[in-house]
Amino acid sequence: MLKIKEFSILSQIGVRMLRHYDNIGLLHPAYVDKNNNYRYYDEEQLLVTNKIQSLKSMGISLKEIKLLLHNMDNLTYMDTYLNKLLIERQKELENLQNSIKHINSALNGINNNSIYGCEITLKEVPQHNVVSVRKKISSYQEEHQLFQTLFREIAQQNIKIQNPLYNVAIYHDKEYKNTNIDIEVQCNVIGNYSYLQNIIFKSENPNLIIAIVIQGTVDDMHGLNTVAANWLKDNQYTFAGPMYNVYHIPPKEEIISPNCLVEVCFPVEKIKFY
């Protein structure tokens, strides 16, 4: 038999940890001298410590290891357990890699002196009901007129709006245009509506977006788009729909005023590699 210090050297587990293993029922000494409480271990118990160390190296908790030690000889059980653990670890690795990419993207934005470097957020937008108006207008300055039409119809037809209210302007053109612009404005609502006049009701499917929150005017929209495109490249996403603005402070006479809080949104999807 081996004294605890001898066993500690051979197992490469500290004496304090061996005592902890004993206290939690993970590994009891083979014999304890009642006269002096000295702990002794059998050489065969080194096989158990090898299993413990191996399972610890996989990031498995001592509580879980205690249960696994009773099933190590059950190959079916261990195969199922380890395959499940592998999937979990791969997902954790993927999340960590995505986190690193997001950090690098933010650092690149800072290093490039971009005011938007740390403002990009990836998030999911849930399914929601909206009423909307979609028309072609001669300039972006006329966008607020579409919102006025929408708000007027909402009031006249007793439509119940959702709180918090999101006023959305979607830019449907496939390319940049400074005239004859295809714009849809929306407002999120509660309930279902039919037989509406001048506006339509519909349900928007959930989607994934990157968003940049700004206040007031966007002086460099091209720069903002460039930062978004670089973020997509760094994080392996691609655009998946027309960009849109969410006005958290409702637009009135001017679509973008110094007090306006705007979330510039780009629908995206993860690039799939086959």
What was the pLDDT predicted at 132? 94
218: buried, middle or exposed (CB in 10 Å: 19+, 13-18, 0-12)? middle
What was the pLDDT predicted at 117? 47
What was the pLDDT predicted at 255? 47
Determine the Cα–Cα distance for residues 216 and 209; give it in Å rounded to an integer: 21
81: buried, middle or exposed (CB in 10 Å: 19+, 13-18, 0-12)? middle
| Count helices and strands in the chain by DSSP H and E runs | 7, 12
Strand partners, 209: 123, 267
Which CA distances in Å does 106 have to 29, 68, 170, 212, 251? Answer: 53, 42, 26, 12, 30
Local confidence pLDDT in tens for the 274 residues of the chain: 899 999 999 999 999 999 999 999 999 999 998 888 899 999 999 999 999 999 999 999 999 999 999 888 899 999 999 999 999 999 899 888 877 876 776 666 565 545 444 478 889 999 999 999 999 999 888 888 899 899 989 998 889 998 878 899 999 998 888 889 999 999 999 999 888 888 999 999 999 999 988 766 555 455 677 778 888 888 889 999 999 999 876 555 444 455 567 888 999 999 887 6
Residues near 184 by Cβ (< 8 Å), separated by ≥ 6? Answer: 132, 133, 134, 169, 170, 172
Strand partners, 170: 184, 244
Which CA distances in Å does 162 have to 166, 181, 190, 250? Answer: 8, 28, 6, 13
Look up residue 44 and give its two tokens: 């065969």
Q: Is 272 helix (H, G, I), strand (E, B) or coil?
A: coil
Determine the Cα–Cα distance for residues 216 and 138; give it in Å rounded to an integer: 22
Determine the Cα–Cα distance for residues 159 and 196; give it in Å rounded to an integer: 10
Sheet holding 2-3, edge to edge: 2-3, 39-41, 31-32
Determine the Cα–Cα distance for residues 59 and 89; give it in Å rounded to an integer: 9
What was the pLDDT predicted at 110? 60
Q: Is 115 helix (H, G, I), strand (E, B) or coil?
A: coil
Report the predicted TM-score, pTM, of the whole model to 2 decimal places.
0.57
149: buried, middle or exposed (CB in 10 Å: 19+, 13-18, 0-12)? middle
Question: Which domains are assigned to the chain?
Answer: 2-68 (1.10.1660.10), 120-270 (3.20.80.10)
Distance of CA 119 to the CA centre of its chain: 15
Report the residue count for the chain: 274
